[in-house]
Amino acid sequence: MQSIQKIMLIVLLIALVTSCEKDNITKKNIFTKIYSDPNSDISYYPLDIKQAGDESFFILAASSIDTTRTWLNAYVAQIDKEGEMMWSSKIEVPSVNPVGDIVEINGEYFIFCMDNISLQTHVLKIDNSAQTASLVATVSEAEYPLAVSKTPDNGALLLGYDRLTRNSVLTKLNGSFEVVWQTKFRVMQDAEEILVDHLIRTGKTLPFFTGSVGQGNATHYFANGFYNYTLSLMFVDASGGNQTGIGQGYRFDGGASSLIYLQGNTFAMSRFSFNQHFLLPTIDINMNEITTINDYGGGFVAEIAADAQTKTKFMKINGKNAVVYASNTNNNQVILYAYDLSAGTLMFRKQLGFDHPVKVGGLIQTKDEGIGILVQTMVTGRFKRIGFYKLPKEHLK
């Protein structure tokens, strides 16, 4: 009789623990959302997501009408912390072809677009009271904006392309979006057609990005763009933008697909070579020499799709320093890999998406120590819409 009572007590305790664990997971910290549009001709291409101080999220995307082949419109939206749509706005011309990231400076959020005629760069501020984004500056010295990131001094680093001189152009902006310096990298060929196909989504989507090196103050900046006939990592010193090193890809079929700075000379990278993808949670890069990215090695991941885009972020996962990758699988799901930086081991691997094909658009760590993944999803296999996965920290194991 006592043994039966002990068994019943153990079962009751297990039930209570399980109940407590489930109570920590609510619709506020775990959900999947798809944002519909009644216009079947419009396609959406999500680019970035940022969480604001009130725990709501700003979404940046591009949109296009499938029956035309013109510049893409910018689209901004705000959703609450449970993923419910608060407002959305399609930005009208002349501001087109938005690039990620959403840049946060002193609590204000900015997006970068291209002028539909002059090709110059426009800076727009997201205004949640007006429920739109409005023009605040034009960088006339920078054409064909391709990528942007925030710098540690509350400025921005912008990658563009000069169609007349056939140069990639790296532009350092201060907090007022004035040009501090510019550095040009010879492409050695006319790359405009490739860039246009990239921008209007009729050709290969290329991994353009920029970033900063250093804790607190930047010592170097980097950009992934065209240089010397190939997609290359370009490093410059932070003070004047002087070229210091190059990581060469292979034409437009190989190179870095993402890069984030960790410490010292150590980075986390993903790279691609034709249809193969490799993850490098830690790699030391000499920023003062010419290297070949194919020589960096890395772990080959067969399940990542040939045309996948990969996002990489530094996060705190269950109190541990981690590098998290988000990419796409061959069966059209999102795949997450988290690596413990101290142990050098894989912490977890998760796949998301079952009913609809999905592609990664943005990746963030949320304020409640969970993960948010912005995606493009194919509703009924045809309509390209924006989706958002929110995972709580309890699921990051």
pLDDT at residue 26, rounded to an integer = 60
pLDDT higher than 80, residue 104: yes
Name the band, by pLDDT with cuts 50, 70 and 90, for residue 69: confident
Mean pLDDT confidence for 277-285: 97
pLDDT at residue 121, rounded to an integer = 98
pLDDT at residue 303, rounded to an integer = 96
More confident residue, 355 or 239: 239
Say which CATH topology domain 29-395 has: Methylamine Dehydrogenase; Chain H (2.130.10)
pLDDT at residue 381, rounded to an integer = 77
pLDDT higher than 50, residue 310: yes
pTM reported for the whole predicted model: 0.91
β-strands 320-328, 311-317: how paired? Answer: antiparallel
Closest CA to 126 of 85, 92, 88: 88
Question: In the chain, pLDDT over 90 holds for what percent of residues?
Answer: 82
Say if residues 362 and 311 touch (Cβ distance below 8 Å): yes
Residue that the structure tokens 């921005």 belong to: 156
pLDDT at residue 2, rounded to an integer = 39
Instruction: Map out the domains of the chain as residue ranges.
Output: 29-395
pLDDT digits (tens, 9 = 90+) for 10-36: 333 333 334 334 445 565 668 899 999
pLDDT digits (tens, 9 = 90+) for 133-165: 999 999 999 999 999 999 999 999 999 999 999
Mean pLDDT confidence for 310-331: 96
CB atoms within 10 A of CB 179: 14
Q: Is the dihedral of CA 220, 221, 224, 226 positive or negative?
A: negative
Report the C-alpha gap between 80 and 85 in whole angstroms.
Answer: 7
pLDDT digits (tens, 9 = 90+) for 216-266: 899 999 999 999 999 999 999 999 999 999 999 999 899 999 999 999 999
b/e 331-354 (16+ beta carbons within 10 angstroms → b)? ebbbbbbbbbbeeeeebbebebbe
pLDDT higher than 90, residue 3: no
Mean pLDDT confidence for 80-106: 96
Report the C-alpha gap between 382 and 378 in whole angstroms.
Answer: 6
3-state helix vs strand vs coil in the chain, percent to 5: 10, 55, 35
More confident residue, 221 or 354: 221
Say if residues 257 and 310 touch (Cβ distance below 8 Å): yes
Q: Measuring CA to CA, how many Å separate 325 from each of 99, 279, 313?
A: 20, 8, 7
